[in-house]
Each structure stands twice: as C-alpha cells, then as structure tokens.
C-alpha cells in the first residue's frame, strides 16, 4: 500500500528543523556536548502561583470534563492584563477568544478566512506557520520583504495594486520571530489605514509582548485607533509566563473575525483542561514584578552572548526584544552550512535563517534558552570554531 502525504502537506516548510534535530542527535551520539540554542522553548520556570493553582485544580475530580470554551474568568483576566499592560480596553464576551496556544490559532487562521486563490501578505523572513496555514487553506502567499535597511518593516506601498485587489489578509509580528525588530505606533497607524483602504484583515502576532528590552515601549496593535475595526492580535502565555507546555493563549480584537475563528475551533477541539485555564488566569492576574525580573534575565543572556561573539570578531546586532538573536553570519558562508558546521565542530545548535524564508539566507537564529554562563561557553566555542575555519 502506497501511503503519500497530501501535496499541501508536502509544500509546507519545516524539513530544516528536522534536519537540525537529526544533526543534534548524531552529534550527541558522537559524544559531543551540544549546547542547544535552536528551539525557542523557555527554560525558566513558571511562577509559584501558577504551579500552586494548577495543583489545586488538578486535585478536583469534577474538573476533568470538556470545557468546550474559555471560562469567563480567563477572558476577564485577559482584559485586565491588556488594560494594565497595554492600556487597551477589551470586551471579555466578544473581543477575547481563548486558544490552545497562539500556534493553534495561527494554524487554523487561514482555513477560517481564506478561499483558494485569495492572497495573504506574509513577512519574509517569518515564523513558518504564517506560510504553512495559508498553504493548507489553498491560499496564495505574497511575501513582504523584511530588510535591514528598512528596519525590518515591510514597505506597504511597494505591494502591487493588482495583488492588493486579491488580498484578504496580512500577517505581521512585532516584536517578531525570527527577526527581533520592533515597530512604533506610526507604523501600526499606517497598517490600519492600509487595511481599511484595501479591505484586508490584519493579523498581529504579539507572542513576545513582554520580552522587550532596554526600556523600549510595549506597543499592542490593539492600542492604535481603528485597529479593532481591521484586525486581531494573537498572544500567548508560553513565553510571557513560561507555560509553553500548557498550550494556552488567546486572540483579541475584531469580534466578527473572532467569531469566525471560534466557529472553526468548535469543529476541531473541546476546550482547554480547566486547571490549565485557572493557572492561566492566575498568571495573567499575578504580580507583574516577575515579568520585569524575566526581562532582566533575558537581557543578561543576550549581552553575555553578544559580548562573547564580539571577542571572536563576529559582530552581531543587539536584539531589542524576544528570546532570540537574529545574527548575520560571517562572510563566505551559507546559513545552512554555517549552522550544521557549528553543531558538528563547535557543539552549538542554532537554526539557519533560510528556514524562515528566502530572505533569511545569510542569517541564523540563536535562542537565548540557556543561562548566561552557558551562553558564554557557547560563544567561546564559536570563537574557536571561527578561528580554525578562517
């Protein structure tokens, strides 16, 4: 029997991540101590109140049934968080939709909105699910170049009118993954006017909303006048509260768009485990001082890595946000070749930039998911690697 994946599945990106994982396993088999900076999975623990709440409710045998939807208390907690952190007022009943992590919502997004032949504007480089969800829906991707000379912001007026006439949705993310750039309110205001003019649904991925460094402002797309009329914003408890394995997040914004996405979700899931919802509520309502401490920790890690790389002669831009460094690789290398050689020769795993789109070539993404001391060791290994290969 010949069992073959669909053409849509085969067209999806992701093989490079499998290649990196295979390469790591092979290096470990060879006795290499691999410092894994490839996967953006937080190594920091959730706050004690999250653990305490989860333990409390998992001990209640009446809380093991289907929840079907987000509980009202969770939605109100999201509203409180958005008001306190981003000065955004939300209606808990109509402008908040609970998700099994922002990845879940993004994966189902295009299926809910896009018909075959519809165009979707997607950042290049960008997080792979942005493209993949469009491919699964049968839509057509139009890449928006994110270039260093444009501060990694798309130039909207360069998109041809004939494309815009067929475009139904655009995806943006600030701070982003893999590109760690920030956008200001002026850019978001431009996006709102652009979306209104061309009747395009804006999707803003805000998963790294609380990992913003050096005193830079936290700007929610929803804080811009008119944003709710044209868009939705995805956020997650994975990175902000170190609850990645819990799989809980949410989307906020345009009620009609959230209703459509919720309609799709009603066909594919039965809600998040009640104790996890309560743990998420506790996190959103907790003391925000833990968030400030977390930002300082990631800043320490970023600085330790960059200072170490500078000693090797590799000048890397200082990430203003997220748990990543988006690093332009030394001349003479291709991204994939450089990343694989780092695993084999230095015992350091990173992701080649071409995994995130054509314009990711020439870069690697380095995740700050190890303590500063371990990142210093990684930088020393890279320093020796570059010395031996020059």
Q: For 30-71, where are the alpha helices, taking DSSP H only?
A: 48-58
Range 3-28 burial, b when 16+ CB lie within 10 A, else e: eeeeeeeeebbeebeeebeebbeebe
CB contact set of 235 (below 8 Å; sequence gap of 6+): 102, 206, 207, 209, 249, 250, 251, 252
Claim to verify: residue 359 and residue 243 sit in the same structural domain = no
Least confident of 53-57, 103-107, 161-165: 103-107
- 239 and 94 belong to one structural domain: yes
Specify the CATH number for the domain of residue 40: 3.90.1150.10
- Give whole-number Cα distances, 226 to 121, 190, 232, in Å: 20, 11, 11
Q: Is residue 2 part of a domain?
A: no
Residues 331, 211 share a domain: no
Q: Judge if 309 and 361 occupy the same domain.
A: yes
Helix-strand-coil split of the chain, %, nearest 5? 50, 15, 35
CA distance 364 to 356: 10
What are the backbone angles phi and psi of residue 229, rounded to the nearest 5°? -75, -25
Q: Is residue 7 part of a domain?
A: no
Residue 258 in any domain: the answer is yes
List the strands of the sheet with 96-99, edge to edge: 96-99, 249-253, 231-236, 201-205, 167-172, 119-124, 140-145
Report the alpha-carbon distance of residue 39 to residue 225 in Å, rounded: 35
Over residues 111-123, the pLDDT tens digits come to 999 999 999 999 9
Is residue 354 scored above 90 in pLDDT? yes
Q: Does residue 214 lie within any of the structural domains? A: yes
Tell whether 81 is covered by a domain.
yes
Over 70: is that where the pLDDT of 204 sits?
Answer: yes
Query: Is residue 74 in a domain?
Result: yes
Same-domain status, 293 and 221:
no
Q: How far apart are CA 203 and CA 106, in angstroms?
A: 9
Q: Is residue 4 part of a domain?
A: no
Number of domains in the chain: 2
Domain endpoint, select from 239, 267, 284: 284
Question: Quick check: 322 and 311 in contact, CB under 8 A?
Answer: no
Q: pLDDT tens digits for 123-149?
A: 999 999 999 999 999 999 999 999 999
Residue 205 is part of a domain; what is its CATH number?
3.40.640.10
Question: Residue 51: pLDDT above 80?
Answer: yes
Report which DSSP code applies to 235.
E
Q: H/E element holding 355?
A: none
Sheet holding 324-328, edge to edge: 324-328, 363-367, 351-352
Q: Do 187 and 199 have their domain in common?
A: yes
User: Which of 222, 252, 284 delimits the end of a domain?
Assistant: 284
pTM over 0.85: yes
**Is 3 inside any structural domain?**
no
* Pair (280, 305) in one structural domain: no
Indicate if 301 and 200 belong to the same structural domain.
no
Query: What percentage of the chain exceeds 90 in pLDDT?
Result: 92
Q: Average pLDDT in the 365-377 region?
A: 97
| pLDDT value of residue 13 | 65
pLDDT band at 312 (very low <50, low <70, confident <90, very high): confident
The whole domain housing 272 covers 48-284
Same domain flag for 37 and 160: no
Looking at the structure, do residues 188 and 154 belong to the same domain, yes or no?
yes
Peptide bond into 284 cis (omega under 30): no
Residues 209 and 297 in one domain: no
Q: Are residues 71 and 195 in the same domain?
A: yes
Domain limit, last residue, from 284, 307, 325: 284
């Amino acid at each position: 029997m010949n069992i073959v994946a669909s053409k849509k599945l085969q067209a999806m990106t992701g093989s490079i991540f499998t290649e990196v994982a295979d390469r790591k396993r092979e290096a470990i088999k060879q006795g290499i101590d691999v410092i894994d900076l490839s996967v953006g999975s937080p190594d920091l623990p959730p706050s004690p109140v999250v653990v305490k709440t989860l333990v409390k409710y998992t001990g209640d045998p009446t809380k093991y049934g289907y929840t079907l939807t987000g509980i009202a208390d969770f939605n109100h907690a999201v509203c409180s968080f958005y008001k306190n952190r981003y000065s955004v007022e939300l209606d808990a009943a109509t402008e908040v939709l609970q998700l099994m992590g922002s990845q879940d919502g993004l994966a189902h997004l295009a299926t809910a909105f896009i018909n075959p032949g519809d165009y979707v504007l997607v950042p290049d480089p960008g997080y792979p699910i942005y493209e993949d969800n469009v491919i699964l829906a049968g839509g057509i991707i139009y890449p928006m170049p994110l270039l260093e000379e444009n501060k990694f912001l798309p130039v909207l007026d360069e998109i041809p009118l004939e494309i815009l006439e067929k475009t139904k949705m655009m995806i943006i993310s600030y701070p982003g993954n893999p590109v760690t750039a920030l956008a200001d309110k002026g850019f978001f205001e431009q996006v709102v006017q652009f979306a209104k003019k061309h009747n395009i649904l804006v999707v803003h991925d805000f998963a790294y909303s609380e990992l913003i460094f050096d005193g830079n402002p936290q700007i929610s797309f929803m804080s811009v006048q008119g944003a709710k009329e044209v868009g939705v914003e995805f956020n997650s408890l994975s990175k902000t509260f170190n609850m990645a394995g819990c799989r809980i997040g949410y989307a906020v914004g345009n009620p009609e768009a959230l209703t459509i996405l919720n309609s799709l979700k009603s066909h594919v899931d039965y809600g998040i485990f009640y104790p996890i919802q309560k743990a998420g509520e506790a996190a959103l309502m907790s003391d925000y001082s833990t968030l400030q401490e977390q930002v300082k920790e990631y800043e320490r890690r970023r600085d330790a890595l960059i200072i170490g790389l500078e000693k090797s002669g590799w000048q890397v831009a200082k990430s203003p946000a997220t748990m990543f460094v988006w690093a332009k690789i030394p001349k003479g290398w291709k991204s994939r070749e450089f990343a694989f050689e780092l695993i084999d020769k230095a015992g350091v795993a990173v992701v080649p930039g071409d995994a995130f789109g054509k314009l990711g070539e020439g870069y690697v993404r380095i995740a700050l998911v190890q303590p500063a001391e371990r990142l210093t060791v990684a930088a020393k290994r890279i320093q020796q690697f570059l010395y031996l290969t020059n």
